[in-house]
Amino acid sequence: MRKYLFVILITVILICTYNLQTAEITSYQLEHMTSVNPQKMVYLINTSNCRIPDDDPFNADIIDFIKEEKPYKCSKYDLLSYIDKKNGIVSLNINKSLVEAYSNFKIQCCYSNITRIDYEVRADNQIKLTDCIPFEESVELTFPYVHVKCFNKLMNVYTNVHATTLPLPKRTTSSKKKPKFSVLLLGIDSMSKSNIQRSMPKTFAYAEKHFNTLKGYNKIGENTFPNLMAILTGYNMLQLADICNNSVKLNNCQFIWDKFRESGYITAYSEDECWISTFNYDRPGFLDEPTDFYYHSYFLAAEKLKVTKRHSMTYCAGPETSGERLLNTARDFAVTFKDVPSFGLFWANSFSHDDVNMPAVMDEATFRLLSDPEFISALKDTILIFFSDHGFRFGNIRYTHSGWLEERLPFLYIKFPDKFKNLYYDKYLNFLVNTERLTVPYDLFNTFQSILEIGNGSYEINFSKGCPECLSLFSKVPEDRTCEDAHIEQHWCTCKGHTYINSNTPIIHLLSQFVVNETNNLVKRLPQGYLCSPYSLNKIRSAGISEPYINHQNKTVHFYLVMVETAPPAILEATVEASINSGKQSFNLLGNISRIDRYDPVTWCVKNGPVKKYCYCAKKTIFNFFKNVFSFW
């Protein structure tokens, strides 16, 4: 009888435990259903499987983090040297009207060519100057990047570098029946659509009026590299590890600009802030120049001039801002090849990467470029893409709900020439439909494939391997597209959203501890992980729960978003799927664990690489090293 009662008792406990755990999840869902009125919500897109909230860029969540940043000139006087183009001749000139401002004595000027040193693995990091050739008022240039200096009998009075896009012979001509449309990509790092509205209001207003925006554009990876590489190669990170070996150079990564070049296009790639540039930060860069015009050497030379830092980035590179140098390369390339098919990528880091308010200093300059009549005229046959890779990823603003959303939603504007709209009206209409759908970087890669086919009917389209289900933006994206369809990990997906819940519950504590444990296990497995202190859970900063969804095992589940603070201090954020199997709670990470505090100051003991993101350097690093060695033996 006692055994029978004991069995009944155990059965009742198990049933109650299961029901309690299930009730926890269900109660959170009920809270979600009662705390949000869907009729009052405003969405960027609202499709069958994707509703992305349209948060107010100035909401109370982040208003305290919005600060004023003003531009300032990098030189007391206007530039003493400048580039001029007339009748196909490119010249370097001295502005004689400014000589007396720079010197009370007679000055002499000379210029050197800035050349790349093609030497094995360091080719992307080395430059040299040729002998300095004296000139008076003007000299014709035959090399694209030059260093100029002027001096009097006492001292050097002026130093600068210039980049010019020298004309090249046409590779092919477009027929009237099959015109080739150029592509120009102008990118700003770490910029959500909400932040461009806040920090660059003139640019935002112009883009809203003259471009089309993809409202549901969602990033697919953590930082710049995976999101840009999806656009430029169509591959995901696992595929890239096999295709382009990071131990050598990145030239063999099968970039889309190679396909454009093979099809007769002139190509260009320009990026400022060389030390964090997409292909050089923790990566080997290029052994051979990847495009016809590769401005890397120019920016290396500019950043060797007198530099003024703002928020750890190069604001002034000599007498010019780094951001204006970048915009000038885009303008010069577009104008030079206005009648020639071209493909160019121009990417700005210096005024946006490290501070959410800093883009304000380039609002006027960016607006002037986009609205410049000569620039607009030069783009008469060009599809202009103005975009970003992701939103801001670190710091106080990132600890908010708005920060979570903005990180995942970079801005993307596209402007089509009238000729394209007239000739390919159906494709353009499909594109307009897609402005209200969930879209990803892979779709842009596929669109480039379509543009190549438009200019060459025999071109063999190779759509994205990273997202086989993805489409060109000239085809209608399915209305019921999910993040899974678009190969967006749930951790980056903004479609399902979440409701914040009470973090002071057993299940939230369990999964928060799970996130900390997973982080520690990851660090242990990584090279140099022995130099890092283990983390313990200090407190739970926030927790949220999703609407229920069907997972790949056809089970109805929820996912949780948790943000935890550890000791030693780090802020970690993870998306975790919670399910109950045989009466036991089980957790599964949906994507990577994000570290959203600024970690550079505490990761001094490790080199760049995966471990740097998670490390907190232990004080007794030598002791830890030997401890690791002896424990191994």
What pLDDT is recorded for position 319? Answer: 99
| Percent share of the chain, pLDDT over 90 | 79
Cα(564)–Cα(528) distance, integer angstroms = 24
Chain mean position to CA 129: 32
Cα(601)–Cα(597) distance, integer angstroms = 11
What H or E segment, with its residue span, contains residue 303? none
| Same domain? 386 vs 415 | yes
Positive or negative, the CA dihedral 473, 479, 483, 486 is: negative
Q: Which domain holds residue 390?
A: 182-455
Burial 253-281, CB ≥16 within 10 A → b, else e? bbbbbbbbbebbbbbbbbbbbbebbbbbb
Residue 413: closest CA among 182, 220, 197:
197
What's the DSSP call for residue 499? E
The string of pLDDT tens digits covering residues 63-80 is: 999 999 999 999 999 999
Residue 224: closest CA among 273, 274, 184, 188:
188
Q: Provide the token pair at 249.
A: 């150079």
Evaluate if residue 20 carries a pLDDT over 50. Answer: no
- End position of a domain, from candidates 163, 191, 214: 163
- Residue 247, in any domain of the structure: yes
On whether the CB atoms of residues 283 and 250 are closer than 8 A, the answer is yes
What's the DSSP call for residue 192? B
- Residue 619, in any domain of the structure: yes
- Residue 325, in any domain of the structure: yes
Residue 81: closest CA among 114, 111, 106:
111
What pLDDT is recorded for position 120? Answer: 65
Cα(320)–Cα(336) distance, integer angstroms = 22
Q: Which of 578-582, 587-591, 613-617, 625-629 has the lowest mean pLDDT?
A: 625-629
| Same domain? 129 vs 197 | no
- End position of a domain, from candidates 455, 485, 513: 455
- Residue 67, in any domain of the structure: no
β-bridge partners, 138: 93
| Same domain? 238 vs 317 | yes
| Same domain? 310 vs 403 | yes
Evaluate if residue 9 carries a pLDDT over 70. Answer: no
Q: Provide the token pair at 467.
A: 């997202």
Cα(7)–Cα(14) distance, integer angstroms = 11
| Same domain? 291 vs 351 | yes
| Same domain? 118 vs 264 | no
Evaluate if residue 117 carries a pLDDT over 90. Answer: no
- Residue 314, in any domain of the structure: yes
The mean predicted confidence, pLDDT, of the chain is 90
Scanning 379-424, the segments in alpha helix (DSSP H) are 401-408, 418-423
Evaluate if residue 399 carries a pLDDT over 90. Answer: yes
- Residue 484, in any domain of the structure: no
Cα(290)–Cα(555) distance, integer angstroms = 47
| Same domain? 502 vs 361 | no
Evaluate if residue 432 carries a pLDDT over 60. Answer: yes
Cα(104)–Cα(315) distance, integer angstroms = 29
| Same domain? 247 vs 314 | yes
Q: Provide the token pair at 58.
A: 């100035």
State the total domains in the chain.
3
On whether the CB atoms of residues 594 and 610 are closer than 8 A, the answer is no
Evaluate if residue 358 carries a pLDDT over 60. Answer: yes
The string of pLDDT tens digits covering residues 224-240 is: 999 999 999 999 999 99
Residue 483: closest CA among 499, 498, 472, 467:
467
| Same domain? 197 vs 315 | yes
What pLDDT is recorded for position 123? Answer: 79
Cα(45)–Cα(53) distance, integer angstroms = 8
Residue with tokens 């770490």: 190
What pLDDT is recorded for position 246? Answer: 63
Confidence category of residue 177, pLDDT binned at 50, 70, 90: low
Cα(578)–Cα(364) distance, integer angstroms = 48
On whether the CB atoms of residues 190 and 398 are closer than 8 A, the answer is no
Cα(228)–Cα(240) distance, integer angstroms = 12
Evaluate if residue 35 carries a pLDDT over 50. Answer: no
Cα(216)–Cα(54) distance, integer angstroms = 10
Cα(26)–Cα(32) distance, integer angstroms = 10
- Residue 470, in any domain of the structure: no
Evaluate if residue 13 carries a pLDDT over 90. Answer: no
Q: Which of 82-91, 465-474, 614-623 has the lowest mean pLDDT?
A: 614-623
Cα(446)–Cα(470) distance, integer angstroms = 8
| Same domain? 446 vs 536 | no
DSSP secondary structure, 209-221, as one string: HHSEE-TEE---S
This prediction has a pTM of 0.91
What pLDDT is recorded for position 19? Answer: 44
| Same domain? 89 vs 219 | no
| Same domain? 442 vs 308 | yes
21 φ, ψ to 5°? -65, -40
Evaluate if residue 3 carries a pLDDT over 60. Answer: no
327 φ, ψ to 5°? -60, -35
What pLDDT is recorded for position 632? Answer: 34
CATH of the domain at 419: 3.40.720.10
Q: What is the mean pLDDT of residues 249-269?
A: 95
- End position of a domain, from candidates 455, 487, 519: 455
Q: What is the mean pLDDT of residues 28-55?
A: 69
